[in-house]
Structure 1
């Protein structure tokens, strides 16, 4: 029996897959008829057990509990075959296609792999595998009637399923973009590693049939593909699920950072009726962004009666003279007017004029106003002298 890193690697990979499976279970309970979601959960569940059953210590435990030497072999081979079938089933349901085509392909996939799994177990019970083998089952029984057919059947079925999945992922990746494309491109080598695993074992068995001792390929070389393939499979399926949300989170954080200069200028503006509270650090960026925008709009509404159109006109002329186009000049002018109002300029007490002067603020994105805060022209109009000159004009 082998102990140590081999078992640990298998168990970690299995735990990761089962953890993601558990995360997806609530969604499956809410949408029990979602075939795509069912296929994804099935794949993750089977994939997790594949790695648990592949660990040498797990094999010994299953054999000991069942009381049947090598009872873990048909279980592990059935799980690996089911994993290949579930992978193919997931891609079939994931790719856009007419519903009737998807249903027909799904039924064919399920039927074919169910028959293979039945055949694997039937061949095991027809054969004689009475000598327990934890890591060299394929090599030891490569010449045993029925058992050799079982081994070849599972390797071929697993290889065909994973190779087909890899090819479909590659083809589909050319039609999509973003995190979905990235996930599919990761799944291509992930499933090719499974194919490599099967090919290595088939080569070893072929060598044994011709009198060569190539058992080292089975227990030393082939397992090297297990951990990388598991990591890639987890990443490939997980990335499209979290990619859009992650991208949105990054965009929200960038937007929050972009609004920071404007918020710094307006955060002390009294807003009657508004409740100002600091959100906890764990609040989602989207919620923080909504709160930040609401607070800024509240501040702009509170400043509206004190916005001086004269300040805006003077800042607009200055921006145009500096070479800004009409849209940029308008944003700079509005920002200068708002910041002047926030500082209680001497001539900002006329509510009627102020309301008219602030009427254009709703036409600008808050991000544009925030970017204009650092404009040299806006900074100039923050000086009391320039504000007084604008009022006099």
Structure 2
């Protein structure tokens, strides 16, 4: 069982895990046949219970409350086995595979770890552990009939599940990309740390069998491994869930930033008939801000359409091509030049000057970035200067 680590850390982590599990209960009720969701809820519940039950104060309280010496041992061990089985079950159902193969592996996992739980309970009742041990139970009872088998059962069950889960995560990570790959690459070493935890404790138990004393491995070496394993495990499961949202938010914010030049240019263009609402950026989701920004820009460009001169666009397009620009870049540059000239004409002569243009704005981001092109500025000056001179005359 656990060593004398701070109880607060155990209780805090356990409570958080149970609260997250409780938050998923409504979804579980709606999707009772979703094996992946069931495995996730079982994992969260087992992990939360394990953190709370493994706290030293909980071990002592459980022994005192039931009046059965060391009853906390099988309780913690069965919870550990349930957590191990749930971890492996979650990876099996998470990883893409033929349905029949997934069902077969799921049945095998559930059967094996259910038998392991029953074995731990039976071995404890068959054995005799009269001396209460809170921190060194594994080593102290390593030579006790039935109890030693119970200890080995729980350590091997957890080690096998964690090794299998780590292997599956690593293999799967080679087939995927993005946040899912990052999460799997974090989970794989997290599970390996638990394998090391089990292996070190087995070494201490085996040492007792051969008449040696390596109890410090149980009391001093393995406890520090629990924190990094738990932290990496939590991060590994969280990254695939929140990673896509963070990436999408980042892309949205980048587009908002890229549209800033075009927004500053067109935000004051009158758009009769279009409804504009002021959205405070600190209260509005970035995706909503981006949609509103694009809608307002399209409305402004539509309002400028009667002032757009395709001859200006063609001139700008040819100038950009002759300047070495690629076709897509030259097209964006031509659109930007035409819009800037149309904007100036709309300010000086509000009445439409041209028939409805067949041109329609495409992607706004290249258009916005093209506003800084020297070709655009040059053409704008060429077309706007004569208008200003004529107005002064």
* TM-score of the pair, normalised by structure 1: 0.91
Work out whether 1:62 is the aligned partner of 2:62. Answer: yes
CA deviations over 1:261-304 (Å, ceiling 9, x no partner): 11111111122231221234132211111111111111111221
Superposition RMSD in Å: 2.4
Work out whether 1:387 is the aligned partner of 2:384. Answer: yes
Contact 2:74–2:121 (Cα < 8 Å) also in 1? yes
In structure 1, distance between residues paired with 2:301 and 2:360: 8
In structure 2, distance between residues paired with 1:261 and 1:27: 44
Distance 1:138 1:186, change over 3 A: same
Aligned residue for 1:43?
A: 43
Shift of 1:307: 2.0
Aligned residue for 1:371?
A: 369
- Matched length: 387
In structure 2, distance between residues paired with 1:212 and 1:56: 26
CA deviations over 1:322-365 (Å, ceiling 9, x no partner): 33344322221211221232334577556362522xx3233x21
Equivalences for 1:1-393 in 2 at 5 Å? 6-273=6-273, 274-344=275-345, 351=352, 353=354, 355-356=356-357, 359-362=358-361, 364-383=362-381, 386-389=383-386
In structure 2, distance between residues paired with 1:346 and 1:281: 33
CA deviations over 1:222-271 (Å, ceiling 9, x no partner): 11110110011111111111122221111111111111111111111122
Contact 1:311–1:387 (Cα < 8 Å) also in 2? no
CA deviations over 1:50-87 (Å, ceiling 9, x no partner): 22222212212222332322221111101111111111
Distance 1:348 1:311, change over 3 A: farther
Contact 1:93–1:106 (Cα < 8 Å) also in 2? yes
In structure 1, distance between residues paired with 2:345 and 2:90: 63
Distance 1:256 1:30, change over 3 A: farther
In structure 1, distance between residues paired with 2:328 and 2:134: 74
In structure 2, distance between residues paired with 1:71 and 1:346: 85
Shift of 1:318: 3.2
Secondary structure of 1:212's aligned partner:
coil
Secondary structure of 2:6's aligned partner:
helix
Which is further off, 276-285 or 170-179?
276-285
CA deviations over 1:124-150 (Å, ceiling 9, x no partner): 122222322111111222222221111
Shift of 1:110: 0.5
Secondary structure of 1:241's aligned partner:
helix
Q: Which runs of 5+ in 1 are unaligned?
A: none
Secondary structure of 2:133's aligned partner:
coil
CA deviations over 1:83-105 (Å, ceiling 9, x no partner): 11111111111121121221121
Q: Which runs of 5+ in 2 are unaligned?
A: none
Distance 1:96 1:176, change over 3 A: same
In structure 1, distance between residues paired with 2:4 and 2:302: 66
Distance 1:5 1:200, change over 3 A: closer
Distance 1:325 1:191, change over 3 A: closer
CA deviations over 1:147-186 (Å, ceiling 9, x no partner): 1111111111111111111111111111111111111111
Shift of 1:187: 1.1
